[in-house]
Amino acid sequence: MRTTVGIIGAGPAGLLLARLLHRAGIDAVVLESRDRSYVEHRQRAGILEQGTVDVLRAAGAGERMDREGLRHDGIELRFDRTRHRVDFPARTGGRSVTVYAQTEVCKDLIALQLKEGGPLLFEAEALAVEGAGGERPRVRFRREGREDVLECDYVVGCDGFRGVARAAVPAAVARVSERTYPYAWLGILADVPPSHDELVYARHDRGFALLSMRSSSVSRLYLQVPAGTRAEEWTDDEIWSELDRRLETDDGWRLRRGPITQKSVTPMRSFVHEPMRHGRLFLAGDAAHIVPPTGAKGLNLAVGDVVTFARALIHERETGSPDLLDAYSATCLRRVWQAERFSYDMTTLLHPAPDATPFDAGIQRARLARIASSRAAQTDLAEAYTGFPLG
Ligand code: FAD
Ligand code: DHB
């Protein structure tokens, strides 16, 4: 099999890239190791930055998002039993975010790709990228028990943190920066209307809690738990009681309970692989970088990477100049490191570490009080949360 751009992975990065290239008249083939239903139902992120919304709309993939997505103009920070709102449009000149689940973004992009786009092969597992440093990179893959080869002009590794593409960058030219955290998130989906109309990020001495949502009838909530916790260790009642304690306020606010339909644990990690390009292999999304989820940057970063790649390749086609492709890694990494910084700041602001001292707790409270009382500090948070510009 032969194509212009071989895309490994049909997560948000790979699917959006396929859509952008299709719109530009550039051939691409997407290889995805899992089946369609698995990809469409994997519970993950839920918050789209303004720029992500704009990109999906411009790619002709925004119809249902515009109908069903919930525009959010702020978040609430909760600490010491008090509530403090950060108003996004007021602090950023009109920017906001949209609650629309990653599962729904993927469903919309898959439907469009199967209807209008090039090949999207499910249950096709990439085994290795070969010849990345030469003119004709290849992806070796397995499908229906047989091995095959996809010959490409370019390969884009959108295969997530556990994919195979990153391994094709020689260790001698790669630099990895990594940090793990001694806690994780226990996330639930519950059939109950959200208890607040905006997201609530809560710091409590017992740990962080986050109230989010998927729709006006489905709540998404997270609890900080020790790293290594298994979801089965928590009963539904224990989860609701712990959420109650961490989210409690002095003004009579109440958390609504409902049936829990899904429970899982997400580990927390910061990870950056540099450079994001080797020869004709480009890495995008979680294949190149991971952020801890506090601040909801993972999916949005993946979108930024593939928009940068698509622009660069279109530029090369139109002008013959490889300048933007050559700048791909540096362009993406500027934005990636800003998101790493923000996600790290939000994580360490809101999660008490297991070995935290009274001094650490005092600093967290002081940082929160500073945000609650300073327009400048709110502007800093709001600009980062609603998203840094592309490029
Ligand atoms: P992925 O979505 O990981 O997609 C990679 C795709 O490649 C997958 O479909 C995978 O099956 C496929 N693949 C892997 N290996 C191969 C192979 N060898 N051959 C072919 N296909 C392959 N972000 C937030 O902002 N908020 C959250 O609450 C949040 N929760 C998360 C929970 C979990 C468990 C994880 C793992 C991530 C979470 N994230 C969250 C991060 C966010 O979901 C990711 O940043 C986003 O999915 C990145 O998109 P991607 O397309 O780069 O990678
Ligand atoms: C969600 C996830 C996040 O990481 C976050 O910061 C906010 C919301 C969510 O899944 O809804």
3-state secondary structure of 65: helix
Band (pLDDT 50/70/90 cuts) for residue 309 is very high
Q: In what order do the strands lie in the sheet with 47-49?
A: 47-49, 97-99, 70-72
Count of other CB atoms within 10 angstroms of residue 188: 21
The residue among 46, 45, 17, 52 whose CA lies nearest residue 31 is 17
Domains of the chain by range and CATH?
Answer: 5-72+97-178+269-346 (3.50.50.60), 181-267+354-386 (3.30.9.10)
Residue 389 above 80 pLDDT? Answer: no
Residue 20 above 80 pLDDT? Answer: yes
**For position 293, what pLDDT does the model report?**
97
Count of other CB atoms within 10 angstroms of residue 145: 5
Ligand 2 cavity residues, CB under 6 Å: 45-47, 199, 210, 212, 220, 293-296
Distance 101 CA to ligand 2 centre (A): 9
**For position 391, what pLDDT does the model report?**
57
Task: Assess whether 344 carries a catalytic annotation.
Answer: no
Contact 285, 306 (CB under 8 A): yes
3-state secondary structure of 30: strand
Report ipTM for this prediction: 0.96
Distance 11 CA to ligand 1 centre (A): 6
Q: What does the angle CA 261 – CA 264 – CA 269 come to, to the nearest 5 degrees?
A: 150
Distance 12 CA to ligand 1 centre (A): 8
The residue among 194, 242, 197 whose CA lies nearest residue 219 is 194
Cα–Cα distance between 348 and 268 in angstroms, integer? 12
Q: Of 204, 273, 297, 351, which is the active-site residue?
A: 297
Mean pLDDT value across residues 183-204: 98
**For position 390, what pLDDT does the model report?**
74
| Atom 1 in ligand 2: residue holding the nearest Cα | 46
Q: Which residues of 360-381 are buried (b: 16+ CB within 10 A; e: fewer)?
A: eeeebeebbbebbeeeebbbeb
Q: Which atom of ligand 2 is nearest to the CA of 213?
A: 11
Cα–Cα distance between 191 and 222 in angstroms, integer? 15
Q: For the segment 312-359, what is each residue's pLDDT rounded down to a tens digit?
A: 999 999 999 999 999 999 999 999 999 999 999 999 999 999 999 999
Q: Which residues contact 49 (CB under 8 A, 6 or more apart)?
A: 97, 300, 386, 387
This prediction's pTM: 0.97
Measured in whole angstroms, how far is the alpha carbon of residue 272 from the centre of its chain? 14
Band (pLDDT 50/70/90 cuts) for residue 28 is very high
Measured in whole angstroms, how far is the alpha carbon of residue 98 from the centre of its chain? 13
